Structure 1
Amino acid sequence: MFGSLVLLAHGIIYFIVMGSIFRARQSIGVGVFFCLLGTMHFLETYLAATFFIELPFGLISPGSTVMFTGKLAFFLLLYIKEDAEVMRQPIYGLLSGNILMIALGLLLRLYSNPASLPGYNPDLRFIDQMGLLMVWGSLLLFIDLIALVIIYERLGKLVTTTVPGRIFISLALVLSFDQAFFYLGLHHLTGVPESAFYGGWIAKVAAAAFFSLMMTAYLRIFEREPLPVQSRRAADVFDRLTYRHRYEKLAERVGRDALTGLQDRGQFDAKGAAMLQAASQSGLSLSLMMIDIDHFKSINDSRGHVVGDGVIRKVAETIVASKREGDELFRYGGEEFALLCPQMPPGAMALAERIRAAVADSTHPELQRPVTVSIGIATFPTHARVFRELLEKADAALYRAKASGRNGVVGADA
């Protein structure tokens, strides 16, 4: 009976202190809450490995039962009131800190003769053991939190829309998984008996009910803003927790020209060869247009590079508006563009003429004259059989267009 009261008091104090710091996050910053989580992480792991209370249904550790369950509950609260991107920050911090602790502990082993002092002496084996447990616990925490949020969101669609029910079921399911795998690591490192597994699981489910009620009361009393009604997709949650969405945004920027947003020269080299190979295998044609802005250097020299950049962007927009949907436009370099057009002949010349006319008709208020382009065209397989040769033929046609007075379209020699 006394042991149960100790665990209950432990949970109440834990929630009051953590909840107070969480409540004050808008004024003192969420970083204070993160630091508190990190501080509790060591004590939680230490108690989970060394301190147990014997109850009729098994051995119970306050660290594993109360503190870890409370931590999961507050991570879920962080997700509910903030978002997945805020929630993931302390996860990566805890995991990185635990790995660093192990690395520094191993480094200190190189010095095998530390000074002997009265009282406590260094026990690096204990540090290693705790470090491994904390890394294992952090890896499980990472999996736990992804599962916790996904289950919480799915429950809102399939089972119950009540906040207490969603919180409790989510916590109970994830804690059952965590108890099994954390016990395996704990048993391997410290040899805790099997009764710690069963007792811990029962106590964690009870703690899940306790923290679910406490969180619900907290939300209703202190943070009454309406909670999101629409459930998030599991894929969206996973992307946010694992930084995948940032990778996808970065991937979108890679291979893009910063000025125009078009695909760049590297993309042209890669896609051009691939598109020609695909055309060859399917017995289709592929036309390449090299498009160059006429007298562009004089624009830069007389009106400056800012105006010149605006001209490049406007020409790029005009070509995009004039090309077909399946055509691929690239900024080849400087004031030159490349347009790959699958299955184009005999309409390549007509499309090129449409692009030339559209550019000539576009307005540039900052200039005193119209902007024009010269275009050279070459087609596979009529003019070339490999991509490099196709580019050379289109370039040669472009130079003839410029030599013949510019603002024109010239096809490659057969």
Structure 2
Amino acid sequence: MATSNALLLFAQAAVYFTVMMSLLRARKAIGIGVFMCALGVMHFLETYLASVFYIQLPFGIVSPGSTVLFSGKLLMILLLYIREDALVVRQPIYGLLIGNFLIVGLVMILRYHDTVNVTNGNSPDFAFIDEMGLLMVWGTVLLFLDSILIIVLYERLGDWLGRHLGLRFLICGAVVLTFDQAGFFLALHYVSGAPGHVFFGGWAAKMVATVVYTVLFVLYLKYFDTEKGWLTNRPLKDVFQVLTYRERYQQLLEASIRDHLTGALDRSQYDQNAPGILERNLLAERPLSLLVIDIDHFKQVNDRLGHQAGDEVLKTVSRLLTDNLRSDDHLYRVGGEEFVLMCEKLPVDGALSLAERLRKTIERFTKVYLPEKVTVSVGVASAPVDGHTVEDLFRTADQRLYEAKEAGRNRVIGPGAAA
């Protein structure tokens, strides 16, 4: 009996893997949604089998729900990530989490119905439903944690195992399914009093399932695909941020501190951060330069060509400034057509050279790509020569900007220099 059960489990695993990998392989033709729906539709059955359906194997008593279906689902989530990316795989992860909580919530409402017996006296077994609901909630939370953990572990193992795709797959499955077996057994023992040997039998079965699925995956790569197409090299931090939607938070945070039109940091960020940036460089005895950049005759551009053209000029100038910055530079839009550029570790000579390069770049680019040539005037101040506070530097740079305007515009003026 134990041997026939083992053969049946292997057959189930083979069928599960074949169908799911066929759907994953055909995702470009039939859509990824087919794979995701097939992945999620069996969750109730997995939980039901894991709670009440057990069979005898040579190494213990196991449930096909945990051994074949749950193990297969988790490893399929990993394969979906490998084949696609974190942005795609997080959809079924969060979909399963929300969907199963929704089921439990709806069942809690259902129990308040006044029911009518229409099928030979059969009535709903709410005790069983409550037991299943608790196990589904706990199992869903575990699946959510398992899915993120197995992907993060897969990327971490890439630092050591590199191109050994099958070995990475095997280790990830073994580690995370061990964690899952311990977590689910705690709930199962609490709900139904499952004995300890169920844990050890289930763990052994999941380890065997991991080996079987790994072998099937390696065979698939050998006969139907190439390992090269499955290898990934994704930054671990970026993967984790996408899986946990932190990149959306970072995007919102980034958007909240940037000028919506030009993409430069806004005036509030200048007021908040500039003093700290200056103080940091003064304490380290490093030079810092501040550039005040103003678009020449901007009001006339708005008057002649309209505000839409003026907006395009602002966006173009900001993009050109951004594209030519160093990693230690900070660009702020502080007024209508006025920008401030703080340059850490840059003495006055370097600041004048940078300002002149920016001025020429804007003039040359806009002459070709905008309806008319746009120029800028730049005033430059440097710490500690021109002051020890942001207010002193800005006042000095703004005065030199005014001198550049008075001298004919489209020029750079700094301490003891004019261009």
Q: Give TM-score scaled by structure 2 length.
A: 0.77
| Preserved CA contact (<8 Å) 1:376 1:411 | yes
1:186 to 2:223 alignment: no
Question: Which amino acid letter does the alignment assign opposite residue 203 of structure 1?
Answer: A
Percent identity among equivalent residues?
Answer: 47
Residues 159-188 of structure 1, C-alpha deviation per residue, up to 9 Å, x if partnerless?
695555443343223222221121112212
| Preserved CA contact (<8 Å) 1:76 1:149 | yes
Change (3 A) 1:82 1:338: closer
Change (3 A) 1:289 1:84: closer
- Matched with 2:209 is 207
Partner Cα separation in structure 2 for residue 160 and residue 405 of structure 1 = 61
Partner Cα separation in structure 2 for residue 226 and residue 323 of structure 1 = 37
**1:66-215 matched pairs, under 5 angstroms:** 66-108=68-110, 111=112, 114-118=114-118, 119-152=121-154, 158=160, 163-215=165-217
Shift of 1:302: 1.6
Partner Cα separation in structure 1 for residue 105 and residue 313 of structure 2 = 55
Aligned length: 410
| Preserved CA contact (<8 Å) 1:150 1:234 | yes
- Matched with 2:367 is 364
Q: Give TM-score scaled by structure 1 length.
A: 0.78
Which among 274, 277, 280 is matched to residue 275 of structure 1?
277
Q: Secondary structure at the match of 1:333?
A: coil
Partner Cα separation in structure 2 for residue 399 and residue 46 of structure 1 = 77
1:301 to 2:329 alignment: no
| Preserved CA contact (<8 Å) 1:378 1:390 | yes
- Matched with 1:334 is 336
**1:207-226 matched pairs, under 5 angstroms:** 207-224=209-226, 226=228
CA RMSD of aligned residues (A): 4.2
Shift of 1:75: 2.3
Partner Cα separation in structure 2 for residue 129 and residue 213 of structure 1 = 35
Structure 2 stretches lacking a partner, 5+ long: none
**1:239-258 matched pairs, under 5 angstroms:** 239-245=241-247, 247-248=249-250, 251-258=253-260
Change (3 A) 1:290 1:51: same
Change (3 A) 1:48 1:318: closer
Q: Secondary structure at the match of 1:227?
A: helix
Q: Secondary structure at the match of 1:338?
A: strand
Residues 227-278 of structure 1, C-alpha deviation per residue, up to 9 Å, x if partnerless?
3456555445434433445555555555334554432223222222323554
Change (3 A) 1:297 1:20: same
Partner Cα separation in structure 2 for residue 58 and residue 81 of structure 1 = 35
- Matched with 1:63 is 65
Question: Which amino acid letter does the alignment assign opposite residue 78 of structure 1?
Answer: L
Change (3 A) 1:388 1:211: same
Q: Secondary structure at the match of 2:341?
A: strand
Structure 1 stretches lacking a partner, 5+ long: none
Q: Which moved more, 1:370-379 or 1:264-273?
A: 370-379
